[in-house]
Chains A and B, each alone.
Chain A
Amino acid sequence: AQSVTQPDIHITVSEGASLELRCNYSYGATPYLFWYVQSPGQGLQLLLKYFSGDTLVQGIKGFEAEFKRSQSSFNLRKPSVHWSDAAEYFCAVGLTNFGNEKLTFGTGTRLTIIP
């Protein structure tokens, strides 16, 4: 069965600094990979996704992620964070055999922004 690990439970970053959130997955084939963001008490918003092709994926709000097959990773990056980026971030993996019926989520990384 596939699994997703987000090793950082909580990250604090200064406004304007760069950000990298880590995501590692375990799956035997090339997965579908996603990053979602959740503000407190809200639903999840899709930031970006990787299905195939270019391994560097651009998303909304200035985020990007890079798929590295050799490291089984799909880390999320942003060159300069804004206070509005404070939220919880979830990485997810889907089975390519069955599409997205079986999304598996990581436990999330909570991002705090300090002035």
Chain B
Amino acid sequence: DGGITQSPKYLFRKEGQNVTLSCEQNLNHDAMYWYRQDPGQGLRLIYYSQIVNDFQKGDIAEGYSVSREKKESFPLTVTSAQKNPTAFYLCASSEVQETQYFGPGTRLLVL
């Protein structure tokens, strides 16, 4: 089946710790995205990438980092600089200038 997978489903972070969220797609899409979702708010774009080895900051990139070494993978690292990381994180992919399709999400909680 083609689709987008995110792991883990739940992730716990300790103070001062960096954590990495995984996003993999087998749709052969060029573009990939990371969004953050908080209760009562819409999705906010963290980072996006239109091609391997290139990515751009979204609206709320501070405290986050990404890499795009392979077309099918776009991991997101939540660094210790992100002071309020508790949220639901959604990964998406698309052909460039086409519809975005979303993964099932990762819920990040702070211990």
Contacts and interface: CB of A to CB of B under 8 A. Distances in A.
Contacts of B90: 43-44
Size bin of chain B's contact surface: 20 to 34
A107 B40 contact: yes
Nearest to B91: A43
Contact of A43 (B94, B96, B99, B102): B102
Contacts of A107: 40-42
A41 B106 CA distance: 9
A68 interface: no
Nearest to A36: B102
B26 interface: no
Given A102-B45, A103-B45, A43 B100 contact: no
Nearest to A102: B45
Interface in A76-99: 90, 92, 98-99
Interface in B15-39: 31, 33
Nearest to A104: B42
B28 to A, nearest CB: 17
A21 interface: no
Nearest to A46: B99
Give the secondary structure class of B's interface.
strand
Nearest to B96: A99
Contact of B31 (A4, A92, A101, A108): A101
A114 B82 CA distance: 40
Contacts of B88: 41
B57 to A, nearest CB: 12
A43 B97 contact: no
B64 interface: no
Interface of B: 4, 6, 31, 33, 40-45, 48, 50, 56, 88, 90, 92, 94, 96-105, 107
